[in-house]
Amino acid sequence: MPRYGMVIDTKKCVGCQDCVVACKTENNIPEGYNRDWIVTEVKGKFPTVQMEIRTERCNHCSNTPCVSCCPTGASHIHEFGGIVLVDHEMCIGCKACVEACPYDARYIHPDGYADKCTFCINRVEKGQNPACVEVCPTHCMYFGDLDDPNSEVSKLLQSRKWHVNLPDAGTEPNIFYLI
């Protein structure tokens, strides 16, 4: 059974938001909402500035506060690849998971349920990449099985320096940022 994750090369990302637009068209996300977003972190004083650009989304954590706080079982870890999903039918829109997520990765859809990145499970089940990975003009995103030592994502993590977002939150995120 694979454990899916993403490895994102911050050196290549230009923060163009193509991943955001692609997610919106692929998954029909309503205007004013988005499942992924861009963060630009600036350090230093001009002109000695360092900047990291990151494309962020649900981290599909291995230790999931959003799942443990859900009163109905709508938020769950899917058996396929450990992808974290929300069952729209079961969700009552109580916002507990929205508050619990340290990454602000969830929002309440106008139709009343919690919504977030699904790693484009419909595509992944067909052997395709998530839409954001597929469109990225800089090829900065890699998707694959973290448990397979020979996968591209595993090899990248072995060969490059990386960090995760909010490691102290203890959620064991499955999205890694190469630096």
Partner 1 sequence: MNSISRRRFLKISGATIATAAILTGASKTLVKGADKINKEKVKGIQKIPTYCDLCFWKCGAIAYLKDGELWKVEGNPMDPLSKGRLCPRGTGGVGAHYDEDRLKTPLIRKNLRGEEKWVEVTWDEAFDFIADKMNKIKNQYGPESVALFSHGIGGNFIKHLLRAYGSPNETAPSFAQCRGPREVGFELTFGDVVGSPERTDIENTKCLVLIGSHLGENMHNTQVQEFSHAVQKGASIIVVDPRFSVAASKAKFYLPIKPGTDLALLLAWMGVIVREKLYDADYIAKYGYGFDKFAAEVSHYTPEWAYIETGIEPELIVETAREMARYKPATLVHPGRHATWYGDDTQRSRAIALLNALLGSWGRKGGFYVPYSFSIPKYPYPPYPELKKEPLDNPGGKYPFATGEQISTGIREATITGQPYPIKGWFVYGTNLMQALPNRDETIKAIQNLDLMVVVDVVPSEIAGWADVVLPESVYLERYDDLNTSPFREGFVGIRQPVIDEPNDQKPNWWIAKKLAEKLGLGNYFPWKDVEEYLDTRLKAAGLSLDELKKVGIVKAPERPIYFEDGVEPEFPTPSGKIEFYSDQLAQAGFDPVPRYTKHEQPPEGYFRLLYGRAPVHTFSKTQSNPLLRDMMSENELWINADMAAKIGIKNGQKVRLRNQDGVVSDAIKVKTTERIRRDCVYMVHGFGQKSRQLRSTYKKGASDAELITKYNTDPLMGGTAMNVNFVTIEAEV
15 contacts partner 1 (rule: CB under 8 A): yes
Residue 16 vs 77, nearer CB to partner 1 = 16
Stretch that binds partner 1, among 15-23, 65-73, 119-127, 167-175 (CB under 8 A): 15-23
CA-to-CA distance for 85 and 98, rounded, in angstroms?
A: 13
| CB count in 10 Å sphere of residue 57 | 23
Number of chain residues interacting with partner 1 (CB under 8 A):
50
30 contacts partner 1 (rule: CB under 8 A): yes
25 contacts partner 1 (rule: CB under 8 A): yes
CA-to-CA distance for 16 and 19, rounded, in angstroms?
A: 8
| CB count in 10 Å sphere of residue 110 | 11
CA-to-CA distance for 12 and 106, rounded, in angstroms?
A: 26
Candidate list 63, 73, 92, 104; residue touching partner 1; CB under 8 A = 104
Residue 42 vs 92, nearer CB to partner 1 = 42
